[in-house]
Each structure stands twice: as C-alpha cells, then as structure tokens.
A and B are shown apart, each in its own frame.
Chain A
Amino acid sequence: MTSAFWDDIFKFSKKKSDIQILEQIPVFNGLSKFDLNKVSKLLHLRSYKKDEFIFREKEPGESMYIIKSGKVIINKIIKEKETILSTLDEGSFFGEVSLVDEDVRSANAIATEDSELLGFFRADLMNLIDRNPRLACFILYKLSTVIGKRLRLQSEK
C-alpha cells in the first residue's frame, strides 16, 4: 500500500531528461548541450520487465545501454555457478565494449526490476562518423578512455 501522504508524488517532475543523464556518462562527458542533443536523437528507448534478459552471453553484441531508471544485474555462469559480476542502477552504463568490438557478449544482463534503458548502437556510431566526424571522434576517444581505465583497474587487481 502506498499513500499519497508519504509517497514521493513529485518524483515525476524530478525525472531527468535524457540529456541530463547523458551528461553524466563518462562516454559522453564533456560534450556540449548541442552535441548531447544530437547524441540523444540516436538513442533507442527500451523498457524491460523484471527478470527480463537485456542480452545473453555469447549473443552478438551491437550496443551499449544506459540505465534511465530501474536496476540491472550483470551475471555469468562460472564453473556451472551463477556469479553476479555487478549490480547497476540509474545513470550507469554497460556493454560499451560492443561499440568497438564486433565480438559476442561476455556476460548476461538482466533487469531486476521494471527498467527503462537507452540503447546506443554501433551502427549509429559508425554512421555518425560520416555525418559528424568531430563528434564521433570525441565519443570514440572517450570510449577508449573508459575501456583503458577498466583495463588498468583490472590489471591492478
């Protein structure tokens, strides 16, 4: 039971716009509002139910996802046991390696509650190289920074 007296009935007005969410993603960090607006037009808004697969391991990966609302877990079956690699919520992103790598997904992504995700596709990024090379270059640079950072942390472990 929820009561209007206690519940956050103003939540709707607090909902961030896509651009505000993008601003905080490291891949798009540092872009102007003008460019962010262009990027936001390339995004695919998807809604997922609780326990729905967003992608599965070994599927060909085509896109990166940004969580607009909800929660997502990344898991993998290691030695026949399900291992949760990460729990992500609003404002996080995952699957960015697929933007530069045409290989298969290396883990499962599952929505643990009803979630809204923004998908950013490799094909759109490649198309952006034709349409707006400066912007595409910047995103690719930021993308490599993110992946490089992950590599460094992983090797330091």
Chain B
Amino acid sequence: MNSFFSFLTRFQKIIIIAAILVFSIIIFDYVSELIPPFLIAFIFSYLLSPIVDRLEFIFQKRIIAVIALYFGISIGLAFFFNFIIPLLISEFNELSSNFPFYISIIKEWSISLKNNVEMNFPIIQQLNILDDIQNQIQSILINLAQRIPTLFLSTFSTLSYLLLIPIILFFFLFQGPDIKISFFRLIPNKYFEVLIYLFYSIGNKIGNYLRGILIETLIVGFLSFIVLLGLGANYSVLLGTIAGIMNLIPYLGPVFGAIPAVIVLYLQFKSLNIILYIIIGFGLIQVLDNIILKPIIYSQSVDLHPLAILVFLLIGGTVAGIWGLILAVPVAGILKVTITILAKEINFRIKFNEMLANQTQK
C-alpha cells in the first residue's frame, strides 16, 4: 500500500483522492439505503463482541462462539415473538380500539369544564376561545392516536433489514478482529499507534456506556411491568415497555413513561387511589434507578451537564421527533467520550511537539 503510493507525486495523490471523493458522493446517493443496516449491525457487533469474546473462551473457536450466540439469541427471539410480541400487539390493538372511548371521556370532561368556565366568565363565550382550544386538543389527540403505531414500527420494519442485519452482524462478529486489523493497515506510520490507542479507549468507553444504557432500560422496563402487573393494570407489558424506553430521556422521560400508565389505570379503575399507587411505584423505580443503576453505568463513562442534556434533547427532538429525544443522550454521551479523549490527546501532542522543537533548538 505504502510503496504503491510512494510512486505518485503529491499532486497525483490529491487528484486520486478527489476523484475517489467525487465518485463516492455520486455512489452514496444510490447506496444510502444500505448504510442503516450496516450501521445497525456495527452497533450490535459493538454491544455483542464482549459476549462473543467470553464464549470464545468456552468454545475455543470464534466461529462456534458466534454460532452459539446466534443460537441463544434465536431462542430468546422465539420466546420474545411467541409470548411478548403477541401480547404487546394485542394490548396495543385493544388500547387503539379503546382510544375513541378515552377521547370521549376527555371530551366530556372538557365540555363540562368549558360550561363551568363560561358560566363564571360570560365574556369568554363571545370570544369563542374555548371552542378553539377544544378543537385543537381534539385534533392533536386524534392525530397522536393515528401516529402511535407507525411511530414505533415504521423505523425498523423493512423486511430486507431484518434479513440483512443478521448476516452483516455475523461477519462483523466472526471476523471483527481481522477486519479491524486490515483497517488499521491503512493508517500512516506516524499516527498508527496513537489512532489504535484512541480507537480502543473510545471504543471501550462507548461499549460500556451503550451496554449500561441497554441494561438500565431492560431493568426499568421490567420493574415497571412488575409494578403494573401487581396493580392489575390492563396493558402492563406495553406500558412497562413504554416506561423503559422513555426512561432514556432524562428528567422528562419518567414522566412521559408514567402518563400513559396513569391514564390507563385511572380509566380502568376510576379511582384516584390507584394513581397514587402507580406514582409511588414508579417513584420507587426512579429512586432505584438513580441511586443504584445510574451511578454504576455513568460513573466510569459519561456524565453530562444537565444544561448540555437539555440542549441535546431540544436538538434531538426538533431533528428527529420522539426517536431524537430517546437517542439524544446516548449520542451526546458518545460525542462527549470521543471529544474528551481526543482533546486530551491533542493537548498532549501539542506539548510533545513543543518539547521536540526545544530539543532541536538546543
């Protein structure tokens, strides 16, 4: 590789690189659909490679370790699809079909509120403000109800993804170390050691962070499900899942996660006591999450300033809606880890070069 490039002058190199860039931009348009499965497979391989490493210790051969992992995952998925997914879908359909009923209750409530207010402040009646507000709320609610199914399914539903990702993931897991080494071969000697160091230290931290987030989501979701089940809620699996995923959004997430549960439980039992119970239950989960889980997960990797989290949430929310909100903090965490390590390294390099310059001056 190096000897090949050494034949070329600097100008020729620049032309070749420019040509490759232009070519790749043209091609990018055609293959952009292929990038998400690769990206998803890459992220999964990041999360799963430590497991494969440990399995490799048991089975001695990496390919057997990967196959064993796939076997385990497929058993897990079979369980998931047979028991949890149908449950989720049936709960979901039931909730959707009951949605007009819930809306009508809210409407009833808002009409009574409107009459109440209008009786006390007759001026408002003439301005028609409340009618406007009511119509607005109604349209928002109906809109939301129609969008919920697509919200959760559309992003990952393409069948080709489901076929492509496992195949790409298999090769990433099986040949990950070899692929890494062939990539490293392209790095010039001068930056070789530094870049490998950066790659490993950043990779380690991000891996730990993502695994931590995943475990946190699973535990919070599961605990929420247990609490809801204990209270005898109707859609406990669905509501628990929502609470777990929403928990990824800092500060507001737990509230977003609890709102559907509170509404459903209130409409189911028609009592305020149950709301108190569910708030206490979710509150306890939050206490557990903040006292035990979060310190373990974020201690060695990422702690972001609350203000920075808010800014990232705003950006994520405006760019990509609900998924933006959910993914904002993981992405911010990854960025922070990368930038901290890079900044440290660049700082060191500047000092190091100054030292070299001093040496030559003497």
Contacts and interface: CB of A to CB of B under 8 A. Distances in A.
Interface of A: 41-42, 44-48, 52-56, 58-63, 77, 80, 119, 121, 123, 127, 130-133
Contacts of A44: 181, 184-185, 192, 196
Contact of B57 (A42, A46, A132): A132
A123 B197 contact: yes
Nearest to A130: B53
Given A44-B185, A123-B200, A133 B177 contact: no
B193 A59 contact: yes
Interface string B183-194: 011000110110
Given A42-B177, A46-B189, 7 more contacts: A41-B178, A45-B185, A53-B190, A58-B355, A60-B193, A63-B193, A130-B53
B193 A62 contact: yes
A137 to B, nearest CB: 12
B197 A41 contact: no
A56 B349 CA distance: 12
Contacts of A41: 177-178, 181
Contacts, number: 58
B118 interface: no
B197 A60 contact: yes
Contact of A58 (B2, B50, B181, B352): B352
A131 B189 contact: no
Contacts of B3: 47
Contact of B196 (A58, A123, A127): A123
A132 B177 contact: no
A133 B57 contact: yes
Nearest to A77: B359
A55 B185 contact: no
Nearest to B355: A58
Contacts of B50: 130
Interface string B159-187: 00000000000000000011001001100
B292 interface: no
Interface in B188-243: 189-190, 192-193, 196-197, 200
A130 B54 contact: yes
Nearest to A98: B193
Q: Is the contact region of chain B dominated by helix, strand, or loop, or is it mixed? A: helix
B91 interface: no
A77 B355 CA distance: 13
Contacts of B54: 130-131
A46 B193 CA distance: 11
Contacts of A54: 189
Contacts of B189: 46, 48, 52, 54
Contacts of A48: 189
B362 interface: yes
Interface string B318-362: 000000000000000000000000000000100010011001001
Nearest to B55: A131
Nearest to B201: A123
B289 interface: no
Nearest to A127: B53
A80 B358 CA distance: 12
A32 B357 CA distance: 47
A119 B356 CA distance: 24
7 closest residue pairs by CB, A with B? A123-B200, A130-B53, A131-B53, A131-B56, A62-B197, A62-B193, A47-B2
Given A41-B177, A59-B352, A46 B192 contact: yes
A12 to B, nearest CB: 16
Interface string B51-88: 00110110010100000000000000000000000000
